[in-house]
């Protein structure tokens, strides 16, 4: 179930209709889940900034690197030019280059693209090599095309789907999660939507409740038990992994303020109990869909109308809330997955509810 079904509603702002990144008008998501035999558990998730040609009509964008242990194809040009010119793909670590090549081929084959000689495809990843035979690099061009061509608005599938099929978060099954916030009219009425691919660790807390500690599954568990002269715990991880966070908004922001917005994604991540460990690649990409900041590929001048710095605080707050909730959704919506000789269990939601009730966060179940 989603976080709100457990009584978990981070922050103060209300979500949009679907409580998803697609609440930002014209943003679309497509996903392909790959489960083959006993070994392949991976997939592709595609995010479109709008329904037009992303190369011809570019949105301003920025990437914030919380911890750079990862592969994020195209991120340097995004930050150099401050814009996206393709959809965003998420997949598994050893599949990023295959996914990038497949999206480049798909883009170059689109109408009005036959004279294009340079293309900055954007592909992020997390490592699902526990549940997935990642060395087989099972993501195909056909899977990428299907994810791109199936992209749609509306509700977004969450949990063990798409690029989240084989991921793990806080020792339980992770996956794809999404959430949104709509600012009050007095703060501009803007919508902020988030999608995450969670595959990281730490000490899970939910709205401040120490869920990981109470369920006795958290990073450094063995070290803590041994320090107290007790028995070693069941887990001995260091919170490694990765997370990709995508933030979309219809607030008219240029790439400078989008870089500031992206950095706030780390605050939402921190609220869930991550410390951005050494082995965790933590990346946040933010973009604006507003027509007033859109950039034509062949523009000779940019005349845009952007939100002023003083109007950013509400957007920052909304992004922190939506990132936090999207991460909870990615875990609470995930199902137990077996693959590659390993099983990762879904988090036991009944026990989570008990912890939340004990700490005064969730209402009693009726």
Task: Please give, one letter per residue, the 3-state secondary structure of 24-58.
Answer: CCCCEEEEEEEEECCCEEEEEEEEECCCCCCCCEE
Report how far residue 8's alpha carbon sits from residue 1's, in angstroms, rounded to the nearest whole number.
Answer: 11
Integer CA distances (angstroms), 205 to 148, 161, 275, in order: 34, 23, 12
Q: Are 249 and 193 in contact (CB under 8 A)?
A: yes
Q: How is residue 21 written in tokens?
A: 């990144």
Q: What is the DSSP letter of 158?
A: -
Question: Which alpha helices (DSSP H) does the chain contain, by range?
Answer: 75-81, 96-108, 141-149, 211-214, 221-227, 255-271, 313-332, 349-358
| Residues β-bridged to residue 43 | 33
Q: How is residue 150 written in tokens?
A: 């199936």
Integer CA distances (angstroms), 65 to 61, 71, 73, in order: 14, 11, 13
- 224 contact partners, CB below 8 Å, separation of at least 6: 233
* Residues across the chain: 366
Tell me the catalytic residues: 242, 280, 282
Q: How is residue 292 written in tokens?
A: 């007033």
Q: φ, ψ for residue 95 (rounded to 5)? A: -105, 0
């Amino acid at each position: 179930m989603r976080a709100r079904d457990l009584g978990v509603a981070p922050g103060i702002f209300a979500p949009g209709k679907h409580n998803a990144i697609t609440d930002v008008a014209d943003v679309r998501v497509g996903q392909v889940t790959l489960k083959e035999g006993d070994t392949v558990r991976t997939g592709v998730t595609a995010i479109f900034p709008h329904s037009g040609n992303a190369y011809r009509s570019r949105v301003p964008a920025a990437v914030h690197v919380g911890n750079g242990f990862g592969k994020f194809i195209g991120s340097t040009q995004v930050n150099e030019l401050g814009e996206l010119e393709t959809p965003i793909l998420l997949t598994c670590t050893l599949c990023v280059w295959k996914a990038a090549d497949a999206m480049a081929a798909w883009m170059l084959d689109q109408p009005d693209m036959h004279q294009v000689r340079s293309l900055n495809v954007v592909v992020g990843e997390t490592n699902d090599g526990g549940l997935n035979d990642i060395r087989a690099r099972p993501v195909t061009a056909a899977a990428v095309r299907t994810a791109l061509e199936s992209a749609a608005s509306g509700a977004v599938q969450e949990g063990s789907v798409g690029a989240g099929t084989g991921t793990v978060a806080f020792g339980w099954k992770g996956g794809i999660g999404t959430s949104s916030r709509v600012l009050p009219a007095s703060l501009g009425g803007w919508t902020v939507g988030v999608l995450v691919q969670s595959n990281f660790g730490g000490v899970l807390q939910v709205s401040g409740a120490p869920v990981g500690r109470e369920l006795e599954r958290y990073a450094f568990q063995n070290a803590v038990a041994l320090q107290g002269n007790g028995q070693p715990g069941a887990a001995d991880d260091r919170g490694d992994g990765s997370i990709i966070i995508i933030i979309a908004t219809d607030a008219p922001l240029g790439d400078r303020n989008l870089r500031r917005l992206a950095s706030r994604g780390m605050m939402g991540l921190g609220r869930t109990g991550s410390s951005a460990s050494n082995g965790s690649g933590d990346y946040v990409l933010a973009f604006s869909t507003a027509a007033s900041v859109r950039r034509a590929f062949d523009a000779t001048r940019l005349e845009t109308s952007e939100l002023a710095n003083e109007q950013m605080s509400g957007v920052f707050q909304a992004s922190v809330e939506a990132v936090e909730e999207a991460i909870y959704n990615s875990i609470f919506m995930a199902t137990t997955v077996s693959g590659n000789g390993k099983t990762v269990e879904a988090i036991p939601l009944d026990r989570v509810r008990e912890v939340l009730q004990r700490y005064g966060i969730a209402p009693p179940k009726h």
